[in-house]
Structure 1
Amino acid sequence: MATDLTAPAPIRPDVAPIQRRTLRLLFTTQIIGGIGVTIGIAVGALLAARIAGTAVAGLAQSAAVVGAALLAVPVTRIMTRHGRRPGLVLAYVVGAAGGVLVVLAAATGWVPLLFLGMLLFGGGTAANLQARYTAVDLAEPARRGRQLSLIVWATTIGAVAAPNFAALADRVTSGWGLPPLAGPFAFSAAAFLLAAGVLLGLLRPDPLLTARRLAAADAPPGAPAADVAPGSAAVDPVSGAAASVGAGPAAAPGTVRASRGAGIRAAWSVVRDRPAARLGIAAVAVGHLVMVAVMSMTPVRIGQSHGDADVLRLVGIVLSVHIAGMYALSPVVGWLTDRLGRRAVILGGVGLLLAACAVAGTAGHDTPLLSVGLALLGLGWSGTMVAGSTLLSESVPTGVRPSVQGLSDLTMGLAGAGAAALSGFVMRAAGYPVLTLLAAVATVPLVALALRPVPTGAPDEEG
């Protein structure tokens, strides 16, 4: 039987206060950062259309998605070497710089500056995504899913509050001489800087570095590297081979060294040899691909049957239901992840995604039925995101964990960006029902991977 990573194991008394403080801090900054990100999403396309025309408005939004995916690489490299705190701070600062550049682009009308600003603005999203992994560095195995999902759920508060802040920010900054729709990005930049400042000052001790020190202290003398997830085999951050702790004159007792060479290539070498890690990355990426492909074309579908007077109102209602499905029940999804197991929730999430595609694809122009489909789509995404992220985090060594998580976010972001780009062509050529059918077909490899028999005694598989 595979090692059960979800079996209850009491967390150390000295670690519990650190973990509680870390969760409170991340919950707070996730709200602040979520407001900043959602404001940009709310007005980004409108601002891009005003500056560069409607034809490129969607490309500006895609730039932010691609930026978040690409920034995951340097951010997680910094985390691997120096801990979570500097990586999260850098991501938020880059997002703030992007917000400032977007404001300058609005003032000058310079389109290349707009795209550069939106690319860097993705740093805010990169920070919000990495925060969910930070929540489980010190989590006890039986509560990893719940604590990760708590940080995901905090995004809901920011997402709900942001539209109101967008209008307020636009009114306030109009008196400063900023052009219309630029003010929300100035507000986003301030929110990102606030989140960065809070993390810089208060995220101490660093949870990832603390986890490494504890792993090193728990390892018997001469044992393989202590930067190992509980129940997993010791792996060198670069090569994936066994390594030793404290080897060499530079290694102090009880410390764990993260290799400077650890990066995306090294992360892939670790993931390649670990079935649970491959399943975790696949679950996150495929769930995001299906969600983005269907969600991005739903407003167009609604616009095919409703006039301009009603379409914005209906789109707002349907997408609000969808966002609620994504985030509102994430604590329940996290509880089920810990209770039923990671694979079970991943498969349940896929089932919900398939149901969503079936309902949305056959809804025709029935807006209430379409709303049901989008709600199921959000719930399915939540299942694959929470369970997949939890499984990935616990199935790789701590020394290479940030790089593997960065690889996951890079894969997820590129999958979403590709789905958004291709969905428009599919919609134009074959229609919305065919788009939902193709999205459903995209889950087949994930189902095959999740149903693959677990090797007996595999150290990186949950029971």
Structure 2
Amino acid sequence: MTSAPRAPQHAGPEVQRRVLTVLVLSQALGGAGMAAGITVGALLAQDLLGSTGLAGLPVALFTAGAALGALLVGRVSERWGRRPGLALGHATAALGSVGVIVAAWARTVPLLLLALFVYGAGSVTGLLARYAGTDLAPPEKRGRATGTVLLATTLGAVAGPALVGPTGTLAVSLGLPRLTGPFLLAAVAYAAAASVVALWLRPDPLLLARALRRDAPRPEKDGQRVRRVAPGVVTGAAVMISGQLVMIAVMTMTPVHLTDHGHSTQTAGIVIGLHVGAMFLPSTLTGLAVDRIGSLPVAASSGGVLLAAGLIAALAPPTGTVGTVLLAAALVLLGVGWNLALVSGTALVAEAAPAEARASTQGLVDVGMSLAGATGGMVSGLVVAGGSYPLLAVCGGVLALAVIPLTARAARPRHTAPRPTSG
């Protein structure tokens, strides 16, 4: 008797292309929805709560909601596949967007806070989708797969803030507060993204990858494999968490800083639009760099870029055209630094996560990112109220440098004594 032929470890390129096509379409839609909370969330809180010190509360809430959302979407995906997990997440974000609109119209603060939490729980799906792009990708192309999915978010993410003015006009024509305009766009965009995933993400990439892996050769025992890959998960998670904390803290207070110094809401929207574009537009190049030179060097570079962003933001004059240009440049660098951290950290986690618990492990990593974002969003308002925006920017940039010794340590070769074998 001869043994049955082993299944390949990776699906054919045509299947991966189909998966990436569906993810690209849903990400373009979801990106427009995600930008709503980034652009006007803090301004809504400042309007309803009447306090700059609490302006970071919305970001803290929807990033705290994102922590729960990342956990739930990860668990649903682990059990039933990426398709139901991602579709549920997008639908939840649409529901939260509607809740924000109703709360702002009724000027009900408790409902606004609850709706922002629900919005955040769903909006995290846009980031979790990057893992779906790596499920069927061969190891040498995981960086580019991650970059492709994130790049697709650019279209909607840049268009969303740029449409603050037109969507605000639409909201007023409907009898709603002007600041709810971006959330009208978010409700429609997220509902469409949920439909795209539910209808067309077939075959499910995680379930197919699991089926292919079931018959793939396993050269190591489970215990040995888990011990070997655990450091990669920890390092990747730490890099992404650091980048998320710094990016959210500085980005959250930038619209408030601009409007407090006489700039229009539309100007704040354009600056944030450039920032969000920089968060995702370099993804393909970052993914290529990860595949060519490795995740750790790219992760280390994120610290230097984020430091530069913080210093430029701190030194930019608060008024005038020169100040606006410098602040926009700082926010672009802030987005690029975050992108370097996210793509490199994702590749590290995708490589190291144990196959039998891939989606849940990835979900837990993004829980950490969400909690870091919640912390950054909440602390940012307090730092600016008690100190200044430049102080916040400098502290964030210095904090980002922690990834350099972290990645240097991870890059050191590990010398372990050979384990005796029995038998």
2: CA distance, partners of 1:101 / 1:297: 23
Residue of structure 1 in register with 2:350 after alignment? 393
Aligned pair partner of 2:99 in 85, 98, 101: 101
Question: How far does the alpha carbon of each residue in 1:169-193 deviate from its partner, in whole angstroms, 9 at most, with x for none?
Answer: 5555666665554454344223222
Residue of structure 1 in register with 2:81 after alignment? 83
Q: Write the letter of the residue equivalent to 2:203.
A: P
Q: Does 1:18 align with 2:15?
A: yes
Q: Write the letter of the residue equivalent to 1:356.
A: A
Q: Quickly say closer, same or farther: Cα 1:96–1:27, change in 2 above 3 A.
A: same
Q: Does 1:35 align with 2:56?
A: no
Shift of residue 54 of structure 1? 4.6
Shift of residue 67 of structure 1? 1.0
Q: Does 1:454 align with 2:413?
A: yes
Count matched residues: 403
Q: Does 1:290 align with 2:243?
A: no
Q: Write the letter of the residue equivalent to 1:449.
A: L
Residue of structure 2 in register with 1:384 after alignment? 341
Q: Does 1:342 align with 2:284?
A: no
2: CA distance, partners of 1:373 / 1:450: 24
- SS in structure 2 of the partner of residue 400 of structure 1: helix
Does the aligned pair in 2 maintain the 1:326–1:381 contact within 8 Å?
Answer: yes
Q: TM-score, normalised by structure 2?
A: 0.85
2: CA distance, partners of 1:205 / 1:279: 31
Aligned pair partner of 1:404 in 361, 384, 397: 361
Does the aligned pair in 2 maintain the 1:137–1:208 contact within 8 Å?
Answer: yes
Q: Write the letter of the residue equivalent to 1:81.
A: R
Over the aligned positions, Cα root-mean-square deviation in angstroms equals: 3.0
Q: Quickly say closer, same or farther: Cα 1:423–1:272, change in 2 above 3 A.
A: farther
Does the aligned pair in 2 maintain the 1:39–1:165 contact within 8 Å?
Answer: no
2: CA distance, partners of 1:59 / 1:362: 26
2: CA distance, partners of 1:370 / 1:169: 25
2: CA distance, partners of 1:373 / 1:196: 34
2: CA distance, partners of 1:111 / 1:412: 26
Where in structure 1 are there 5+ consecutive unaligned residues?
A: 1-10, 225-232, 236-240, 244-269, 459-463
1: CA distance, partners of 2:383 / 2:172: 40
Determine which structure has the larger helix proportion and give its number. 2
Aligned pair partner of 1:331 in 284, 298, 308: 284
Shift of residue 353 of structure 1? 1.6
1:54-93 mapped onto 2 (5 Å cutoff): 54=51, 56-93=54-91
Question: How far does the alpha carbon of each residue in 1:286-335 deviate from its partner, in whole angstroms, 9 at most, with x for none?
Answer: 0111222333344455567x4x2x46565445434433332222211111
- SS in structure 2 of the partner of residue 218 of structure 1: coil
1:345-360 mapped onto 2 (5 Å cutoff): 345-360=298-313
Q: Does 1:205 align with 2:162?
A: no
Residue of structure 2 in register with 1:247 after alignment? none
Mean CA deviation greater in 138-147 or 412-421: 412-421
1: CA distance, partners of 2:103 / 2:270: 31
2: CA distance, partners of 1:202 / 1:46: 37
1: CA distance, partners of 2:56 / 2:389: 18
2: CA distance, partners of 1:377 / 1:405: 24
Shift of residue 15 of structure 1? 2.5
1:105-254 mapped onto 2 (5 Å cutoff): 105-163=103-161, 165=163, 167-172=165-170, 178=176, 180-182=178-180, 184-219=182-217, 235=222, 241=223
Q: Quickly say closer, same or farther: Cα 1:154–1:456, change in 2 above 3 A.
A: farther
Q: Write the letter of the residue equivalent to 1:319.
A: I
Q: Quickly say closer, same or farther: Cα 1:371–1:14, change in 2 above 3 A.
A: closer
Residue of structure 1 in register with 2:383 after alignment? 426
Does the aligned pair in 2 maintain the 1:30–1:155 contact within 8 Å?
Answer: yes
Q: Quickly say closer, same or farther: Cα 1:42–1:135, change in 2 above 3 A.
A: same
Q: Quickly say closer, same or farther: Cα 1:289–1:200, change in 2 above 3 A.
A: same
2: CA distance, partners of 1:445 / 1:46: 31
Does the aligned pair in 1 maintain the 2:68–2:367 contact within 8 Å?
Answer: yes
2: CA distance, partners of 1:325 / 1:49: 26
Q: Write the letter of the residue equivalent to 1:454.
A: P
- SS in structure 1 of the partner of residue 131 of structure 2: helix
Shift of residue 165 of structure 1? 4.9
Does the aligned pair in 2 maintain the 1:211–1:398 contact within 8 Å?
Answer: no
Q: Write the letter of the residue equivalent to 1:378.
A: G
Question: How far does the alpha carbon of each residue in 1:36-71 deviate from its partner, in whole angstroms, 9 at most, with x for none?
Answer: 222344344444445444555542343222211221
